[in-house]
Amino acid sequence: MKLGSRRIISTLITAAVCLLGGRSASGQAVPAQKPQMAEEVFKNVQVLRGIPVEEFMGTMGFFSASLGLNCTACHGEESNSSLAAYADDPPLKQTARKMILMMNGLNKASFGGKHEITCYSCHRGDIRPKSTPSLAQQYGTPPPDDPDEIEISEDAPKGPSAEEVLDKYIQALGGAEQLAKLTSFVAKGTYEGYDTFHHKVPVDVFAKAPSQRTTVIHTSSGDSTRTFDGRAGWVAMADQLSQVVALSGGDLNGAKLDADLSFPSRIKQDLSEWRSDFPAASIDDRDVQVIQGTSDGRTPVKLYFDKQSGLLVRLVRYNETAVGLNPTQVDYSDYRDVSGVKIPYRWVMTWTDGQSTYEMSMVQPNAPIEAARFAKPALTKPKSPNP
């Protein structure tokens, strides 16, 4: 993907995307309030009206991943220095509206309205769909398989059941008895992403069993907070579009899954309809065991466990957008022992709107955490620029 100007990535993604977290779906959570619709926040929204802000931004990421373009490519060079320019109607933006209507018409007529045909179906990362077969691709060396794309296969070799894989995972973390003793933790470390110009900034993580988690990123423009209190979730940030946004849909369910995995002793119950009949896969030349679960009966969550250690090394989840499913990939590493429980000190979150890296330097187990830490965050004022 052509990421383009850091200013664009910083301004828009920081304002409305990055802390909306991985676009995800898993676990049923209850929204605390009606989310803001795209047309309530952005100007000149025509075709994509009536969807929450976070889904709108996820849709923008879907366009970017499908066409290999950055923000200014569609919205025009003026948007590089002016947020107001995003409401203009340059040619590519007008074309995108027509393509959405065409795609929706195809799906409605042939697939009952399901997103079987998407932008990516034809574009595959290129601005122009290709109509002529590529001989170089046909006879060349095929690219390596993407483990995220493997699907359940009835012909897959018989391996461990999902329950057996999860039991090995629990044991690798320290065992069920030891996990039950961990009821909270406070972690400190660094965060970097497009919104910080890839500079490392401080981050604090607060987690409390069974399903509460708050992440506070201390950016140069102010604190950005993502919170899930066990039922509802929000994001709040200090910037030009400063606001507190209630999470909904897959974003809310993804926040719940993040909180649940902070204390994975109940992972078997957090997801259901477990499947393990996947073909062989590897990540970074290490064999992994893939299993899949769901809690809503619709959107799957894939989990990848190192065959040797039994530890979770990757999670892939999905969130529905106005134009198709958006994947979110979370890679876990650097597991360390904290009071008899192995906790990942590093995780990288990758989705169509960006990539963020979290690295912890300290984890304090069973730390007292006040209830207010998981309440709806207050709107913070942006920091004034240095004179």
SS3 204: strand
Supply 384's token pair. Answer: 């004034």
The proportion of the chain whose per-residue pLDDT surpasses 90, expressed as a percent, equals 51
Model confidence pLDDT, tens digit, residues 127-139: 988 888 888 888 9
Q: Are strands 286-294 and 281-283 parallel, antiparallel or unpaired?
A: antiparallel
CA distances from 359 to 318, 345, 363 (A): 24, 6, 11
Supply 45's token pair. Answer: 């929204």
- Close Cβ partners of 134 (under 8 Å, ≥ 6 residues apart): none
- Close Cβ partners of 104 (under 8 Å, ≥ 6 residues apart): none
Please report, in angstroms and rounded to a whole number, the separation of the first and last CA atoms in the chain.
36
Distance CA 102, CA 123 (A): 14
Model confidence pLDDT, tens digit, residues 334-368: 999 999 999 999 999 999 878 999 999 999 999 99
Band of the pLDDT at 3, cuts 50, 70, 90?
Answer: very low
- Confidence (pTM): 0.85
| pLDDT attached to residue 383 | 60
Distance CA 74, CA 64 (A): 9
| pLDDT attached to residue 211 | 94
The count of C-alpha atoms lying within 13 angstroms of the C-alpha of 61, restricted to the half-sphere facing its C-beta, is 29
Q: Which has more confidence, 336 or 16? A: 336
Least confident of 190-194, 373-377, 379-383: 379-383
1-375 topology per CATH = outer membrane lipoprotein receptor (LolB), chain A (2.50.20)
Distance CA 250, CA 335 (A): 27
Is 85's pLDDT higher than 60? yes
| pLDDT attached to residue 239 | 60
| pLDDT attached to residue 343 | 97
Query: What is the average pLDDT value for the chain, to the nearest integer?
Result: 86
Model confidence pLDDT, tens digit, residues 305-317: 999 999 999 999 9
Band of the pLDDT at 203, cuts 50, 70, 90?
Answer: very high
Model confidence pLDDT, tens digit, residues 167-182: 999 999 999 999 999 9
List Cβ<8 Å contacts ≥24 apart for 127-131: 127/67, 127/68, 127/69, 127/73
Q: Which has more confidence, 289 or 78? A: 289
List Cβ<8 Å contacts ≥24 apart for 11-15: 11/83, 11/239, 11/240, 12/57, 12/60, 12/71, 12/86, 13/57, 13/194, 13/195, 13/353, 13/354, 14/194, 14/195, 14/219, 14/221, 14/224, 14/237, 14/239, 15/237, 15/239, 15/240, 15/241
| pLDDT attached to residue 188 | 98
SS3 309: coil
Model confidence pLDDT, tens digit, residues 273-282: 999 999 989 9
Model confidence pLDDT, tens digit, residues 290-304: 999 987 667 889 999
Is 1's pLDDT higher than 50? no
* Paired strand residues for 216: 204, 225
Q: What's the rounded mean pLDDT across residues 202-224?
A: 94
DSSP letters for 285-303: TEEEEEEEEESSSSS-EEE
Q: Which among 122, 123, 151, 121 is positioned nearest to 316, based on CA atoms? A: 151
Model confidence pLDDT, tens digit, residues 250-281: 888 889 999 999 999 999 999 999 999 999 89
Band of the pLDDT at 384, cuts 50, 70, 90?
Answer: low
Band of the pLDDT at 33, cuts 50, 70, 90?
Answer: low
Band of the pLDDT at 8, cuts 50, 70, 90?
Answer: very low
Q: What's the rounded mean pLDDT across residues 28-47?
A: 76
Q: What is the longest distance spanned by two Cα atoms in the chain? A: 66
Least confident of 87-91, 210-214, 346-350: 87-91
Q: How many CB atoms lie within 10 A of CB 129?
A: 11
List Cβ<8 Å contacts ≥24 apart for 127-132: 127/67, 127/68, 127/69, 127/73
Is 241's pLDDT higher than 60? no
Q: What's the rounded mean pLDDT across residues 135-153?
A: 85
The count of C-alpha atoms lying within 13 angstroms of the C-alpha of 211, restricted to the half-sphere facing its C-beta, is 21
DSSP 10: I
Band of the pLDDT at 23, cuts 50, 70, 90?
Answer: very low
SS3 123: helix
Is 373's pLDDT higher than 90? yes
- Break the chain into its structural domains and give their ranges: 1-375
